Structure formats: structure tokens, C-alpha cells
Amino acid sequence: DTGVSQDPRHKITKRGQNVTFRCDPISEHNRLYWYRQTLGQGPEFLTYFQNEAQLEKSRLLSDRFSAERPKGSFSTLEIQRTEQGDSAMYLCASFRGDSGRALGEQFFGPGTRLTVL
Amino acid sequence: GNSVTQMEGPVTLSEEAFLTINCTYTATGYPSLFWYVQYPGEGLQLLLKATKADDKGSNKGFEATYRKETTSFHLEKGSVQVSDSAVYFCALSDRSGAGSYQLTFGKGTKLSVIP
């Protein structure tokens, strides 16, 4: 399978715990995105990597959130001191892009569903 | 900033009925436009796209035309099937200050097709 994969698919945690999610993009894709989707809403942008550099972060990404993409391959998203409001589906997408217009599509993984009790 | 407004659901249609889901957008630049579909229990999949004005994207019998003058990208299908039941998201991709081309999504429209 050469698509975008995410692990775990589901995570249940207690308020105050730390959680970490992993995303493995399509191998030749240099751009990687994290989005968050809450019930009944469309996905919202969280952060973006070009290769290993994190180039943009949304205002939604509070100080409790941190993302990395070491070596420009897989990425991790960590949430510290989780709150009930963090319950959502966390989506990863990858894209092969250059400095021109985004003519292609972002490929999405299946998501990690986080439930904070 | 960028935003996407799409028809609120849920929408329930009988098989073989005509489908229209309206989508309008606001963008600071010249965006590319997309329709993504999310089938029950699955991830987001690209349904179709258009990258410049008057382009028509099409796939699986679905069509949408990039209308710059009305800032719209309405999704249509002439005859829906039960297998088209899913949530449909309109989205745009525009170059941000950091060049991310992040996607901005609408809230989604849930379509149910009954036999």
C-alpha cells in the first residue's frame, strides 16, 4: 500500500495525559499537512511541513501541540496535557509540490480519532 | 482570509434523482478548487478538481465548473446511486504567505440516496 498511513487509528485517553500520533506520507511527497476535523465540520488546517521544515502553523495550534518531521519523512503530532476540547479526528495529508500553484491533490490518510475523557 | 460556504445538509434523494450541492468561496488569490468525498468509515478522497476559471472537473458522473465571476464551484450529478451516499466537502487551495497551499474546507454536505 503506497498511500498515506496514520497510527493509531483510535486513541482514548484521560484528560491531562500526553498523546502522540504518527503519519507516514507517500514517499516522494515533500509536503505534509496536519488537519483537525470535529464532528459535523470540515477539516481545519493545523500545520505544514516542506521536507523537514515546519513552515506554517495555524492559530488553532496551541502551545500544547507540537509537530515534527525529522529527516523529511514521517511526521509526529504530540498533544500535551490533553483537554476534552481536543477530541477530534486528526488527519494527515501529503502532496508533491513546488513553488508554483497547487495543481495537484493532497492525499489524505485515514485519520486518528482522539477521544479525551 | 479564505473561506468556503457550501449547502448545508443533510440531503436525501431517491435513486436516479438529480443532485446539486452549492459551493461558493472567498479567496485572496487565485485558488484551485476541489470536491472531496468521505464515504462512511473511510478517509477523504479527491472527487474532482479545477485549477483555473471555466475549467470543468469531472469524475464518476459528477461535474463542477470553476466560475470566477460568481466565485462558485457547484457539484452536480445527473442520476445519483445509493453508492453515492457520503459526505461531500468543497475546498480551495490558495498560496498562503508561507506558500503552504493549505486546503480550506466547507462544513460538508451529507448525502443519503434511498432506493
Averaged confidence pLDDT in chain A = 91
Which residues in chain B touch residue A45, judged by CB atoms under 8 angstroms apart? Answer: 100, 102-104
Q: Which residues of A2-38 are buried (b: 16+ CB within 10 A; e: fewer)?
A: eebbbeeeebebeeeeebebebbbbeebebbbbbbbe
Q: Does A9 score more than 60 pLDDT?
A: yes
Confidence of residue A71 (pLDDT cuts 50, 70, 90): confident
Q: Kindly determine whether residue B107 and residue A93, on different chains, have CB atoms separated by under 8 Å.
A: no
Of the candidates B49, B96, B98, the beta carbon closest to that of A105 is on B49
Chain B interface disruption, residue of A59, A108, A112, A113, most B CBs within 10 A: A108
Please tell me which of the candidates A43, A99, A109 has its beta carbon nearest to residue B99: A99
Cβ of A111 under 8 Å from any chain B Cβ?
A: yes
Q: What is the pLDDT of residues B23-59, one digit of tens each?
A: 999 998 888 999 999 998 888 999 999 988 999 999 9
Residue showing cell 488569490: B29
CB contact A23 to B (< 8 Å): no
Provide the 3-class DSSP secondary structure of residue A72: helix
| A71 three-class SS | helix
Instruction: Place A108 in a pLDDT band, splitting at 50, 70 and 90.
Output: very high
Angle CA(B45)–CA(B27)–CA(A47) in degrees, nearest 5?
A: 55
Q: Is omega for the bond preceding A25 within 30 degrees of 0, making it cis?
A: no
Q: Per-residue pLDDT averaged across A21-44, rounded? A: 93
